[in-house]
Chains A and B, each alone.
Chain A
Amino acid sequence: ETGVTQTPRHLVMGMTNKKSLKCEQHLGHNAMYWYKQSAKKPLELMFVYSLEERVENNSVPSRFSPECPNSSHLFLHLHTLQPEDSALYLCASSQDRQGFGYEQYFGPGTRLTVT
């Protein structure tokens, strides 16, 4: 596997379910991100992890809970979601280093539908 992978690619869940999205990066990067892309809206940054520490929580509801067990893996735990949480959830990674460009590499996304 190369780049950034995300599983599952598609997920349908009820409002009372608990599920997790998984992201894995094979690029040796030290920062990982979760973004949300709703229909006809710009990408919204949700969470940022740098060196496995959360450095940003962009006012995301507590029904979304991120976890970064190591620099290669990132999870997004979901519980008690609402239909308006249906969206494409994108994971990205980058190599943080002072003074250099840190382009982000994105995974293919998980298309989530909450029923």
Chain B
Amino acid sequence: DAKTTQPPSMDCAEGRAANLPCNHSTISGNEYVYWYRQIHSQGPQYIIHGLKNNETNEMASLIITEDRKSSTLILPHATLRDTAVYYCIVRVLNNAGNMLTFGGGTRLMVKP
């Protein structure tokens, strides 16, 4: 799996958009970008994934640059419950074994 780089921590005001960057400059053409988050003392939670097109679901939007070397997870209206560690992972979709390699992630603190 390609290595990812994320800032260790970020702050966001409640109600504002939270934009979490991820650098994956060595990503291969068949590797997807996945985002998970882990709220304190809970298991990680899947958020979204994409290959090259921007994606949106009920939780977030994923913006992938045209060269695919970086992406941004957007939480449009952050709430206090969005305080968590956010992990960006890139992997091959059809890779047997389905192994996720978690890095250090970004600790997002949403403040009132």
Interface residues of A (CB under 8 A from B): 4, 31, 33, 42-45, 48, 50, 55-56, 58, 90-92, 94, 96, 98-109
Contacts and interface: CB of A to CB of B under 8 A. Distances in A.
Contact of A101 (B32, B45, B97, B103): B32
A109 B49 contact: no
Contacts, number: 60
Given A43-B102, A104-B46, A106-B43, 17 more contacts: A42-B104, A48-B98, A55-B97, A58-B99, A90-B43, A92-B44, A94-B98, A99-B93, A100-B93, A101-B32, A101-B49, A101-B93, A102-B93, A103-B46, A103-B49, A104-B44, A104-B100
A108 B40 CA distance: 10
B98 A102 contact: yes
Of the four ranges (under 10, 10 to 19, 20 to 34, 35 or more), the interface on chain B belongs to 20 to 34
A75 to B, nearest CB: 17
A98 to B, nearest CB: 6
B50 to A, nearest CB: 9
B34 A42 contact: no
A33 B45 CA distance: 14
B101 A45 contact: yes
Contacts of B100: 43, 45, 104
Contact of B98 (A44, A96, A99, A109): A96
B97 A56 contact: yes
A108 B98 contact: no
B45 A106 contact: yes
Going nearest first, the 8 A-B pairs with the smallest beta carbon separation are A106-B43, A103-B46, A43-B102, A42-B102, A55-B97, A56-B97, A106-B44, A90-B43
B34 A109 contact: no
Nearest to A90: B43
A4 B42 CA distance: 12
Contacts of A58: 99
Of the candidates A43, A99, A105, A107, the one having the most CB atoms from chain B within 10 angstroms of its own CB is: A43
Contacts of A31: 98
B98 A104 contact: yes
